[in-house]
Chain A
Amino acid sequence: MTTPATEIDVSRGSDVLAAGYDYAAVTEKISSVVLLRKSGRAWRFGFTVSVLLVMILTCAVSYLFLRGVGIWGIDIPVAWGFAIVNFVWWIGIGHAGTFISAMLFLMFQDWRTSINRFAEAMTLFAVACAGMFPLLHLGRPWEFFWLLPYPNTMWLWPQFRSPLVWDVFAVSTYGIISLVFWFVGLIPDLATLRDRAQSYPARVAYGILALGWRGSARHWNRYRTAYLLLAGLAAPLVVSVHSVVGMDFAAAQLPGWHSTIFPPYFVAGAIFSGFAMVLTLAIPLRWAYGLQDFITIRHLENCAKLMLVTGLIVAYGYGAEAFYGWLSGNEFDMYMNVNRALGRYRIEYWMLIFCNVLTPQLLWFRAVRRNVGLLLLISLVIQVGMWTERFVIIITSLQRDFLPSSWGMYYPTRWDWATLFGSVGLFVFCFLLFVRFLPAISMAEMRELVHEQSRGPGKEAA
C-alpha cells in the first residue's frame, strides 16, 4: 500500500501572499500579534490619544443628558445638525467591511482573505458609533425603546410607514448580523488562540469564546454552508441599509432631499468612504506589526481601485442632482443648487468637490495607487470629504427651504465638535483593543489560502 509523499504545503508567492509561508508560519505570525508581542510605542500612543478622546465624549454626552440637545447648534430651521451628519458618515464607513467580507466572498476574490477580519471589526465599531447619534439626538435618549414595537401601556405603535422607523430596523439588523457574521468567522481562530495561549486566564477566556471548536470535518461542512449563506444575506442587507438612510432624506419634501437618486448614490458614497477607512486602518496596521507579506500592495491597490469606481459614481450623483434640478425647471430645486455652490456654505461645497471628485482622480495612476503614504493621505482626504458631503446635504437644504422668512443659519457649538471627535476616539479605541485581543487577520482563511496557492504544477505531479 502506498501513501502520497508527505510534503508540507508552502506558499509559492503571489501578489496576495508572499512566498515561504506554511500553515505554522501564518498561524505563528498572526497570533503572535495578540499573544506574544509587546504593544509597541505606536499602539500606546494611539491608545492614549483615543482614551483622551473617549473621555471628551463621555463629558460631552454627560452634559447632553444633563442639559438636553440645546447645547448643540441645532435650532429651527436647521434641526438636524452634526448628530445626523455623523450618523450617516459612520454608518457609511461601516459598509466597506460588509462589502469586503460578503460580496467579495461570494465573488471568490482571493484578495479579500487577509483584510476581511479587520474590515468586519471596523464595520462593527462604525455601526456602534453611528447608532449612538440618533439616540443622542432623541432629546430624551432614555426613552429610546419607544422606537421599537413592544407591548406598552400607552397602546402606541411606531409609524411603520416612516423611513425613520425603517432605519431603526435596518441599522439594528445590520449591527446584529454583522456581529454574528464576524463572530462565526472568529470561532476557528479563537480555538487557535485557546490552543496557543500561554497564560491560564487567556486559555480560559479564548476557550469559552471558542465554544469548544475542534475543527471536525462535520463541523467545517456545516460551518462553510452557514458562512456562505450569511454572506449571501449580508450582501443585500448592506445595500438596503444605506438605501433606507437615503430614503430618510428622499421621503422629505425639501429641495435637495426629495430625489430618487438618493438610495443608490448613498450606497456608493458609503462604500467609497468605507474603503477609505479600510486603507486608513490597513496601512498603519501592516506597518506597525510587519504584516506586509499578508496585506500586500495588491490589497491596497484594489481598495484604491474600488475607491475610484465608487468615487466616480458619487461624482455622477452630484452631477445628476444638479442636472435634474435644472431639468425640473422647479424654482426651489434650481435655487437649492445655486445656494449650495454660491451660498453661505459654498466653502464646504467646494471642499467636498475637491475631496470627493478631484482627489480620487489621482487614483487613475498606478504609481499613486502603489504609493502607500500618498494612499493614506488620499483616504483621509476622502473621509473628510464624505463627512462634508453629508454636512452640505443636510445643512444647505434645511437652511434655505421654500419660504425666505423661515431661512436661517447653522453654527455648530463646541459640544458638537467634542461629540464628533469623541466618536472618532471611540472608534479608534475599540479598534486598537481589537488588534491586541483578537487576530486582525483570519488565520483559518490564511491557511486555506496557503493550501490553494501551494498547489502549483510541481505539487500536482508529486
Chain B
Amino acid sequence: MSASGQIYGLLAEFDAPAPFVHATEQTREAGYTRIDALSPFPVPGLDEALRLPPNRVPLIFLLGGIFGGLSGFFMQVYSCTYSYPINVGGRPLYSWPAFIPITFELTILGAGLAGAFGMLALNRLPMPYHSLFNCPRFDLASQDRFFLLIESADARFELQQTREFLQSLGALSISEVPK
C-alpha cells in the first residue's frame, strides 16, 4: 500500500451508467472537487452530475469561421480590384457576388479546423502520458466499464476514508492509480 502522496488518485469501477451517474453526483455533493468521470461513451446526465460549465467550443468555431470568411473575401477583393485587376468588357472589378462561393467554403474550412483543433486543445490532447494509464483496470474505460476518479490532490482526499466512501457508493472495484 502506498501512501496518499504517492498515488494519483482512487478509481472506482461501475458496470452500468445509472449507478455511475448516481455515484458521481454523490461524490460531488460530498464536497470532492478534483473528480473525473470516465466512460466509454457520453453518458446522459453526467454533465449535470458534475455541474460542468458550458464549454467554449462553439465560440472557437465562430471565431474560426469569421476569420476564414473575412480572409477569404478580402483576399479575393484584394486580388481582383488592386493586385491583379482584369478588365473584362468593362464589368465591375468589385464583383462581390462572384466571391461568395469561395468565401463560404473558407468560412466552413476556418470554422471546422479551428473547432476541431480547438476542441482537442481545450481537452489538452494529444496527451501521450497520463497517470490513469498506469492502472490496468482502466483499459476497460474505453470498452464497457465506467470509472469515477477522485484525485489525491483533492483537499478532502484521505486514502482510507475516500476508499470507504467509494465502496459505499456501490463500486465494483476500487484501484489506486500510481502517479
User: How far does the alpha carbon of A451 sit from the alpha carbon of B95 in the complex, in Å?
Assistant: 53
- In the assembly, what is the distance between CA of A247 and CA of B46, in Å? 47
B3 close to A (CB within 8 Å): no
* Complex contact B105–A240 (CB within 8 A): yes
- B14 partner, pick from A6, A159, A169, A219, beta carbons under 8 A: A6
Report A276 CB to chain B, min CB distance, Å. Answer: 26
Which one, A37-45, A50-58, A63-71, A225-233, is touching chain B?
A225-233
Cα–Cα, bound, A163→B106 (Å): 15
- Bound-state CA distance A222–B102 (Å) is 29
B8 part of interface (Cβ distance < 8 Å): no
Are A160 and B102 closer than 8 Å at their CB atoms?
yes
A108-158 interface (Cβ within 8 A of B):
149, 155-158
B116 touches A230 (CB 8 A): yes
Question: CA separation between A250 and B129, bound complex, in Å?
Answer: 54
Instruction: Specify which chain B residues have a CB less than 8 angstroms from the CB of A27 in the assembled complex.
Output: 40, 143-144
Is the beta-carbon distance between A4 and B19 smaller than 8 angstroms?
Answer: yes
For the complex, give the distance between the alpha carbons of A225 and B118 in Å.
11
**In B4-29, which residues have CB < 8 Å from any A CB?**
14-19, 22-24
Q: How far is the CB of A188 from chain B (nearest CB, A)?
A: 7
The stretch of A189-197, A283-291, A329-337 that contacts the partner chain: A189-197
- Digit string of B159-174 for contact with A (CB within 8 Å is 1, else 0)? 0000000001110100
B99 within 8 A of partner (CB): yes
Interface centre among B39, B106, B112, B113 (most CB of A within 10 A): B112
What 1/0 mask marks residues of chain B from 127 to 170 whose CB sits below 8 Å from any chain A CB?
11110100000011111100000000000000000000000111
Q: Is the Cβ of A177 less than 8 Å from the Cβ of B108?
A: yes
> Which residues of A in the span 79-106 have a Cβ within 8 Å of any Cβ on B?
none
Chain B residues numbered 32-73 whose CB sits less than 8 Å from any CB in chain A: 36-44, 46-47, 50, 52, 55, 57-58, 61
Asked whether, in the complex, the Cβ of A218 is within 8 Å of the Cβ of B123, the reply is yes
In the complex the two chains form, is A219's CB within 8 Å of B16's CB? no
B40 touches A447 (CB 8 A): yes
A212 sits at the interface (CB 8 A) = yes
CA distance A215 to B45 in the complex (A): 15
**Is B52's CB under 8 angstroms from A451's CB?**
no
Docked Cα-Cα span, A9 to B15, in Å, equals 9
From residue 212 to 256 of chain A, which have CB atoms closer than 8 A to chain B? 212-226, 229-230, 233-234, 236-237, 240, 244, 247
7 contacts between A and B (CB under 8 A): A212-B127, A212-B130, A213-B142, A220-B43, A237-B105, A240-B105, A451-B17
B79 A149 Cβ-Cβ under 8 A: yes
Are the CB atoms of B142 and A188 closer together than 8 Å? Answer: yes
Interface flag for A434 (CB, 8 Å): no
User: Chain A residues near B168 (CB, 8 Å)?
Assistant: 1
**Which residues of the other chain, B, contact A451 by a CB distance below 8 angstroms?**
17, 41, 43-44
Assembly CA distance A207 to B142 (angstroms): 12
The answer to the question of A165 belonging to the interface, with a C-beta cut-off of 8 Å to chain B, is yes
Within 8 A of A (CB), among B89-139: 95, 98-99, 101-102, 104-106, 108-109, 111-113, 115-116, 118-120, 122-123, 125-130, 132, 139
Cα distance, A229 to B59, chains bound together (Å):
11
Judge whether A23 is part of the interface by a CB distance below 8 angstroms.
yes
